[in-house]
């Protein structure tokens, strides 16, 4: 069993069981034991159980089963782990001693304890504790961090008034970050999550800005005349890439944040936009119409060695490099509809993630696990955000409401 193997691996016992990447591992999520606190404590326990189950399912790696589901599923698939816990009483304020939430993962069969964690959550931290535990499960089994504590930033609104919002990766915790009655677009988290770069208009002029996530303070990065489009962060968080039209034509620039220094990377008569750094910082993928139609190109971080990457599709844009460096996702317009497309970083093995049933799909962005992408789709008539697992095509709607949601970006 995989979970038993993972536990053995953690104890440096050699094992050799491997599953295909698309197969999910069945985990039985048991009701938490509640020892005191009455109805309120039971509600807290249900909240934790729900978050654990959703996180396991959303990871794309596990299938969370209730005891009722497991009665049938165990016969066909086999339960490989059991998640159980204990919550003695209700969560309280920070000033009081919070009860200890205990969560553990045990192998099945064998009942070997693979993971055992204790949390002391205050009233607003129950969900975060459950998210943290599932991240630990992913780390244990897969050897890489989970995404249950990540957030997604995006633009909401229409016409000339759009604000920056953020939401937890599971659609909870929606929060408005700007309220300046302007058009705010293309938000992007810094690698350390402390800042959000975005584009906005002030007094009729486009500019690039930084928002401090802890305080909400906003500062100017660049407001040169003309367009200031699409800020994206360097992997070390010291620079931004943007497309500026200060010379009359859109060109790609590096912007050094400590002093605002601009380094021009492209020089041509073409429109060159939508730059995105490779995770190692050595290369940049961007959009150019130098051959007539917008296509994807790659160049070195200093602007050298430009080469064409896409050769199919009449309009390719908004490319995003996966955090593991292996894949590139982008938007491709064909037959008057825009779809999300995935390809290897060298341009090979192009495949569509969406089809016509999705309507128009735009602005794809990667999760830090290089497995999930978030994008905007108007399949319901209004642009909303959706999350897709690129390994099996499963998808879920992330945002709701009566205003369009666009230009998402996932925290690291």
Q: Contact, 380 vs 389, CB < 8 A?
A: no
385 CB-near residues (< 8 Å, 6+ apart): 152, 154, 374, 375, 376, 377, 397, 398, 399, 405, 408
pTM for the full predicted model = 0.91
pLDDT attached to residue 160: 85
Dihedral, 373, 244, 201, 197 alpha carbons, nearest 10: 40
Written as six digits, the tokens of 6 are: 């993972």
* CATH code of residue 392: 2.120.10.30
Q: Same domain for 83 and 163?
A: no
Q: Contact, 358 vs 365, CB < 8 A?
A: no
**Spatial separation of the C-alpha atoms in residues 255 and 242, rounded to whole Å:** 8
Return per-residue pLDDT of the chain as tens, 412 residues.
554 445 443 333 222 223 344 578 899 999 999 987 678 888 999 999 999 999 999 999 999 999 888 776 544 457 789 999 998 755 444 444 557 899 999 998 888 999 999 999 887 899 999 999 999 999 999 999 999 999 999 999 988 899 999 999 999 999 999 998 899 999 999 999 999 999 999 878 899 999 999 999 999 999 988 889 989 999 999 999 999 999 888 999 999 999 999 999 999 889 999 999 999 999 999 999 999 999 999 999 999 999 999 999 999 999 999 999 999 999 999 888 999 999 999 999 999 999 999 999 999 999 999 999 999 999 999 999 999 999 999 999 999 999 999 999 999 9
pLDDT attached to residue 392: 92
Q: Same domain for 41 and 189?
A: no
Task: Report in angstroms the alpha-carbon separations of 119 from 42, 54, 88, 211.
Answer: 17, 19, 12, 31
If one counts the domains in the chain, the total is 2
Q: Which of 128, 130, 117 is nearest to 151 (CA)?
A: 128
Q: Same domain for 213 and 93?
A: no
pLDDT attached to residue 335: 84
Q: Same domain for 215 and 323?
A: yes
pLDDT attached to residue 8: 42
Q: Let me know the angle formed at the C-alpha of 195 by 274 and 52, rounded to the nearest 5 degrees.
A: 95
**Spatial separation of the C-alpha atoms in residues 161 and 181, rounded to whole Å:** 6
Q: Which domain holds residue 123?
A: 2-142
pLDDT attached to residue 24: 86
Q: Same domain for 385 and 263?
A: yes
Cis amide linkage into residue 127, ω under 30° from 0: no
Q: Same domain for 47 and 177?
A: no
Q: Same domain for 309 and 396?
A: yes
Q: Same domain for 138 and 157?
A: no
Written as six digits, the tokens of 154 are: 């995006």
pLDDT attached to residue 97: 55
Residue where a domain stops, chosen among 92, 115, 142: 142
Q: Contact, 58 vs 395, CB < 8 A?
A: no
Burial class (CB in 10 A: 0-12, 13-18, 19+), 216: exposed
Q: Same domain for 234 and 381?
A: yes
Q: How many CB atoms lie within 10 A of CB 302?
A: 11
**Spatial separation of the C-alpha atoms in residues 89 and 40, rounded to whole Å:** 8
Q: How far is CA 112 from the centre of its chain?
A: 33
Q: What is the 3-state secondary structure (H, E, C) of the chain?
A: CHHHHHHHHHCCCCCCCCCCCCCCEEEEECCCEEEECHHHHHHHHHHHHHHHHHHHHHCCCEEEECHHHHHHHHHHCCCCEEEEEEEECCCECCCCCCCCEEEEEEECCCCCEEEEEEECCECCCHHHHHHHHHHHHHHHHHCCCCCCCCEEEEEEEECCEEEEEEEECCCCCCEECCCCCCEEEEEEECCCCCEEEEEEEECCEEEEEEEECCCCCEEEEECCCCCEEEEEECCCCCEEEEEECCCCCCEEEEEECCCCCEEECCCCCCCEEEEEECCCCCEEEEEECCCCCCEEEEEECCCCCCEECCCCCCEEEEEEECCCCCEEEEEEEECCEEEEEEEECCCCCCEECCCHHHCCEEEEEECCCCCEEEEEECCCCCCEEEEEECCCCCEEECCCCCCCEEEEEECC
* CATH code of residue 37: 3.40.50.10070
Q: Same domain for 182 and 94?
A: no
Q: Contact, 409 vs 363, CB < 8 A?
A: no
State the angle between helix axes of 126-142 and 38-58 in degrees (0 to 180), rounded to the nearest 10: 40
Residue where a domain stops, chosen among 108, 142, 176: 142
Q: Same domain for 14 and 162?
A: no
136 CB-near residues (< 8 Å, 6+ apart): 115, 117, 146
Residue where a domain stops, chosen among 91, 118, 142: 142
Q: Same domain for 182 and 267?
A: yes
Q: How many CB atoms lie within 10 A of CB 382?
A: 15
**Spatial separation of the C-alpha atoms in residues 161 and 398, rounded to whole Å:** 22
């Amino acid at each position: 069993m995989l979970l038993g193997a993972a536990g053995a691996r953690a104890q440096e016992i050699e094992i050799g069981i491997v599953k295909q990447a698309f197969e999910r591992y069945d985990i039985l999520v048991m009701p938490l034991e509640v020892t005191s606190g009455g109805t309120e404590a039971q509600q807290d326990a249900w909240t934790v159980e729900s978050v654990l189950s959703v996180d396991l399912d959303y990871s794309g790696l596990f299938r969370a089963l209730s005891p009722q589901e497991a009665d049938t599923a165990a016969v066909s698939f086999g339960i490989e782990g059991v998640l159980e816990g204990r919550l003695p009483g209700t969560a309280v304020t920070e000033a009081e001693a919070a009860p200890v939430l205990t969560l553990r993962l045990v192998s099945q069969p064998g009942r070997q304890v693979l993971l055992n964690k204790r949390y002391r959550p205050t009233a607003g931290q129950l969900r975060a504790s459950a998210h943290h535990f599932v991240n630990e499960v992913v780390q244990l089994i897969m050897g890489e961090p989970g995404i249950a504590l990540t957030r997604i930033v995006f633009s909401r609104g229409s016409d000339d008034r759009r604000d920056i919002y953020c939401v937890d990766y599971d659609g909870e915790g929606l929060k408005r970050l700007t309220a300046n009655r302007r058009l705010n677009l293309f938000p992007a988290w810094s690698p350390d999550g402390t800042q959000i770069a975005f584009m906005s208009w002030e007094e009729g002029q486009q500019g690039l800005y930084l928002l401090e996530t802890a305080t909400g303070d906003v500062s100017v990065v660049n407001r040169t005349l003309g367009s200031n489009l699409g800020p994206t962060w360097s992997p070390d968080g010291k620079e931004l890439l943007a497309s500026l039209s200060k010379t009359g034509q859109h060109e790609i620039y590096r912007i050094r944040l400590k002093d605002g220094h601009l380094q021009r990377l492209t020089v041509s008569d073409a429109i060159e936009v939508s730059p995105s750094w490779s995770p190692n910082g050595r290369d940049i993928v961007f959009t150019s119409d130098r051959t007539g139609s917008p296509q994807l190109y790659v160049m070195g971080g200093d602007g050298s060695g430009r080469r064409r990457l896409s050769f199919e599709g009449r309009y390719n844009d908004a490319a995003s490099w996966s955090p593991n460096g292996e894949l590139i996702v982008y938007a491709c317009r064909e037959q008057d509809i825009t779809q999300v497309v995935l390809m290897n970083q060298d341009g090979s093995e192009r495949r569509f993630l969406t089809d016509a049933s999705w309507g128009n799909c735009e602005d794809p962005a990667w999760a830090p696990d290089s497995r999930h992408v978030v994008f905007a789709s108007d399949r319901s008539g209004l642009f909303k955000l959706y999350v897709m697992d690129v390994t099996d095509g499963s998808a879920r709607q992330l945002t709701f409401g009566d205003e369009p949601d666009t230009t998402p970006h996932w925290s690291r």
